[in-house]
Amino acid sequence: MIDIRVRALFKCGSQLLFPLFDKEYPWEILKALPAYIEELIEKGIEGYTAFADGILMGSGATVASTAVIVPPAIIGAGTELRPGAYVRGNVILGENCVVGNSTEIKNSVLLQNVQAPHYNYIGDSILGNGAHLGAGAVCSNLKADQKNVVIHAEKDYATGLRKIGGFIGDHAEIGCGCVLNPGTVVGKNTSVYPLVPLRGCYAENSIVKSATETVPKR
């Protein structure tokens, strides 16, 4: 059985995010995200300063002159927004993340030390600590029929959401050019070969070699 609960995918070491991650399933985090960001920005966060209206930034974070941040957004300490990065509202970036050239993020949470450095799309997704997206890897968040996303694990989970991208566990590695179809779940410490189309749920500590071959890590 593949465990897709929040506690199986992510270790939330940030006190700032404890209330948001106190959920059973990750899509419940996405439902709560807009209101939670609004509350944080309204109250303020110790150690964070206002970069612009509706945007809070931690110490040591850097934003290239050609990067774009649409509020509301929270940028963690030490995080780097490189040239051409596009943060498109309702985004929390944890500490020491990298958002790189032509990478677009919307309605998503990145925990600590996440890297999305080259040509990535991250829509309605959660990326765990130390997760890495290879160049051109994308989290597709809308089905062709535009119906609500259903997570297919040991049973089907009706999320009630029309837009869900990917839930990528701590320290997972997604290869270059991979496409995560809406509602894909990748477990902790799992590595995916380049160019694999991902659909459904993948166990932690695995190697995904192709759409039809997954083996345990040894």
Q: Which residues are catalytic?
A: 118
Mind giving me the DSSP string for 93-106?
A: E-TT-EEEET-EEE
Tokens of 111: 């925990």
| Chain centre to alpha carbon of residue 67 | 19
The single-letter code of the amino acid at 204 is E
**Locate tokens 């990528």: which residue?**
168
Instruction: State whether residue 23 is helix, strand or coil.
Output: coil
Q: Of 37, 9, 10, 27, which Cα lies nearest the Cα of 164?
A: 27
